Amino acid sequence: MKGLIVALSCGVYSVSSEGVIYNLTARGVFRNQGVKPMVGDEVEFNPETMVIEVIYQRRSFLKRPPIANISQIILVFSLKEPEFSYHLAFKYLTYANMNGIKAKLVLTKIDKDIDQNLIKEIKEVFSSVGVETYFVSNKTKEGLEEVKALFNNEISCVMGQTGVGKSSLINAIDENYEREIGEYSVALGRGKHRTKEVVLLPYQGGYIADTPGFSSLELDLFKEDLAVFFPSFNNLFNKCYYTNCLHVSESKCAVKEMINEGQISKKAYECYLKLLDEAIFKKERFNR
């Protein structure tokens, strides 16, 4: 039988098939092949032995959180508690581009005392790099209908820091989910983990994946890779005169031209430079 892995707990895979959930184990051969079934995998299993026998080819996958076959990433950040970070948002967006998955940005907690100039600035900054942004309150439901529409007919991975309101957002989308909600600790300056596992929840012709919150995210890439995968730059890097352009001091740089013309936000570029400073060069560059 064919099914979809919707959850994993203690080595037991919950597989949905024809409206029924089967709790299965996986063949040992997968481990020998260095392959591990993931939430989101489409699989073939034997209903008599209750064993997964085949993992179908993945259309996409993420190492963190471990999930396969998603069609989009919904990045959730809060405007307050924790404070919104451009640097972290661009890091997540770059991570999505690295994995070839489209991403949208949802900002929560607009019911709190928020400077409207900040909201205007956020819209302008991310619009300049082609990223859709949405603002929502999980408490008052303001902006919720627009956000709910993002999930229709998609397999969406909801990602973000601990305490930004990911599970609260999912519960607001459908109260039947009853996802356990974490809290933001003022003393610690960060959220408290509640979601411990990746779970696929059915929604409007697709699925919503609730995932554990991140306290940090490290990008496993070189400076040259960042120049390719940073939001908007991924559509411009091949227009630069130099094939290995880092968009810093090179001449005839398409990215810098767009920035100088005001088409790409300078704040976005500042985040790029900060991320660039955190990365290292490829070894080949030193051997020239």
Rounded CA Rg of the chain? 21
- pTM across the whole model: 0.88
| Contact call for residues 197 and 93 (beta carbons, < 8 A) | no
| Contact call for residues 155 and 40 (beta carbons, < 8 A) | yes
Q: What is the pLDDT of residue 191?
A: 42
Domain edges within the chain:
2-57, 62-210, 223-286
| Contact call for residues 154 and 170 (beta carbons, < 8 A) | no
Tell me the DSSP string of 24-85.
EEE-HHHHHTT----TT-EEEEETTTTEEEEEPPPS-EETTTTEES-SEEEEEEESTTTTP-
40/60 Cα distance (integer angstroms) = 10
Dig out the tokens for 133 from the structure.
């942004």
Q: Tell me, which fold does domain 62-210 have in CATH?
A: Rossmann fold (3.40.50)
Which of the listed CATH numbers 3.10.20.30, 1.10.40.50, 3.20.20.80, 3.40.50.720 matches domain 223-286? 1.10.40.50
Q: What is the pLDDT of residue 246?
A: 95
| Contact call for residues 156 and 70 (beta carbons, < 8 A) | yes
191/188 Cα distance (integer angstroms) = 8
Three-state DSSP class for residue 255 = helix
Q: Tell me, which fold does domain 2-57 have in CATH?
A: OB fold (Dihydrolipoamide Acetyltransferase, E2P) (2.40.50)
Q: Provide, for the chain, the percentages of residues in helix, strand and coil under a 3-state DSSP scheme, each rounded to the nearest 5.
A: 30, 25, 45
15/127 Cα distance (integer angstroms) = 39
- CA neighbor of 106 nearest in space, from 154, 159, 68: 159
Q: Do domains 62-210 and 223-286 have the same CATH topology?
A: no
Low-confidence ranges of the chain (pLDDT < 50): 182-193, 285-288
Q: What is the pLDDT of residue 180?
A: 63
Distances (CA, A) of 271 to 33, 93, 132, 266: 40, 12, 18, 9
Tell me the DSSP string of 141-152.
-TTHHHHHGGGT
195/239 Cα distance (integer angstroms) = 42
